[in-house]
């Protein structure tokens, strides 16, 4: 298939697709949508690796989500990373900090889990797929993540930071741009004015598009189960907000995504 779009973050291996996964994947093929399948723990990371083996337009990202409480099995991830190329692993994550439900006693655990995976990304020479979620009307997780990541970027300038599901404000975007981050824009941009304003500000060469399927479907599929092929609506909205031609935006985002995750489409 000719790849026109890459869904920079989705979970096609999740159980939400158990009944019609082949159909969902056919929809991707028909629309020219490739994807990065993202793990949130050991089990889903392995499933992500497996689904990437079955389809040449799916890559994978392995790691542990900050709210996933299982013990981080470093050896499991290191073994997967030993065959990083064969396993089609293009990033580490989704990892980061989630202080949406402020559990003060969980913060230290999250920081430790996060730093372990930052180290893993440095060793494997892979970008970070970052899940950073602050409490409502707060930037607490973003501020804390910024301080941690700034320290690592200083020591390891090559480490690339990709902000998954980025819906924070323009001020926060500015901070992470200082660290040369890229930003995964989800379907929320099709209905949230604040996200549209932030996207209007973002440099065009830092924008990637993601579904986070099965979650967070864009208009006109809002409220339904999301799937990777729906990123086309998200991309159209971004082009509209940026006052750019759809085709231009599609090409630009494709280029940004290939560069961010070092994808080789002809393989």
Span of 15-23, 69-77, 206-214, 258-266 interacting with Zn ion by CB under 5 A: 206-214
Contact region with Zn ion (CB under 5 A), list: 67-75, 85-93, 177-185, 207-215: 207-215
Q: How far is the CB of 244 from Zn ion (least distance, A)?
A: 27
Rank residues 87 and 211 by Cβ distance to Zn ion and give the closer one: 211
What tokens appear for 265 in the block? 């489409």
How far apart, in whole angstroms, are the C-alpha atoms of residue 20 and residue 44? 18
Give yes or no for residue 212 binding Zn ion (CB under 5 A).
yes
**Region from 110-118, 141-149, 210-218, 228-236 binding Zn ion, contact rule CB under 5 A:** 210-218
Q: Angle, nearest 10°, between helix axes 74-82 and 104-124?
A: 20
Name the residue nearer to Zn ion (CB basis): 68 or 212.
212
Sign of the dihedral through C-alpha 6, 193, 172, 120: negative
Instruction: Tell whether residue 7 is a contact of Zn ion (CB under 5 A).
Output: no
In this structure, what token pair is assigned to residue 241? Answer: 């907000």
For Zn ion, give the closer residue by CB, 209 or 239.
209
Q: How far is the CB of 126 from Zn ion (least distance, A)?
A: 17
Angle between helix axes 170-178 and 193-201 (nearest 10 degrees) is 30
Instruction: Using DSSP, state whether 263 is helix, strand or coil.
Output: coil
Q: How many CB atoms lie within 10 A of CB 61?
A: 30
Helix (H, G, I), strand (E, B) or coil at 113: helix
Nearer to Zn ion, 7 or 212 (CB): 212
Q: Which residue's beta carbon is nearest to the bound Zn ion?
A: 212
H or E segment to which residue 8 belongs: strand 5-10
Place of tokens 């542990």: 64
Is there binding between residue 68 and Zn ion (CB under 5 A)? no
Residue count, binding to Zn ion (CB under 5 A): 1
Taking the complex as a whole, how short is the minimal distance between the CB of residue 107 and Zn ion, in angstroms?
A: 21
Q: Given the complex with Zn ion, which of 186 and 190 has the nearer CB atom?
A: 186
Q: Which is nearer to Zn ion, 190 or 252 (CB)?
A: 190
CA dihedral 51, 94, 163, 15 (to 10 degrees): 50
- Min CB(10)–Zn ion separation in Å: 7
- Cα separation, 194 vs 180, whole angstroms: 22
Residues in contact with Zn ion by the rule CB under 5 A: 212
């Amino acid at each position: 298939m000719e790849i026109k779009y890459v869904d920079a973050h989705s979970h096609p291996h999740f159980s939400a697709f158990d009944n019609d996964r082949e159909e969902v994947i056919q929809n991707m093929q028909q629309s020219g949508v490739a994807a990065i399948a993202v793990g949130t723990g050991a089990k889903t990371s392995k499933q992500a690796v497996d689904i990437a083996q079955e389809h040449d337009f799916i890559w994978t990202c392995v790691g542990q989500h900050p709210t996933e409480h299982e013990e981080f099995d470093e050896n499991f991830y290191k073994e997967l990373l030993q065959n990083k190329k064969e396993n089609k692993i293009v990033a580490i994550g989704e990892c980061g900090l989630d202080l949406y439900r402020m559990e003060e006693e969980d913060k230290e655990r999250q920081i430790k889990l996060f730093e372990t995976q930052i180290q893993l990304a440095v060793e494997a020479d892979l970008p970070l797929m970052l899940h950073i979620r602050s409490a409502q009307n707060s930037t607490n997780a973003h501020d804390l993540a910024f301080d941690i990541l700034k320290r690592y970027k200083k020591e390891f300038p090559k480490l690339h930071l990709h902000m998954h599901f980025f819906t924070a404000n323009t001020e926060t975007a500015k901070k992470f741009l200082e660290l040369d981050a890229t930003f995964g824009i989800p379907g929320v941009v099709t209905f949230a004015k604040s996200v549209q304003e932030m996207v209007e500000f973002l440099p065009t060469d830092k924008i990637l598009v993601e579904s986070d399927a099965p979650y967070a479907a864009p208009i006109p599929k809002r409220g339904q189960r999301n799937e990777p092929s729906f990123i086309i609506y998200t991309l159209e909205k971004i082009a509209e907000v940026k006052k750019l031609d759809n085709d231009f935006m599609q090409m630009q985002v494709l280029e940004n995504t290939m560069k961010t995750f070092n994808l080789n489409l002809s393989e």
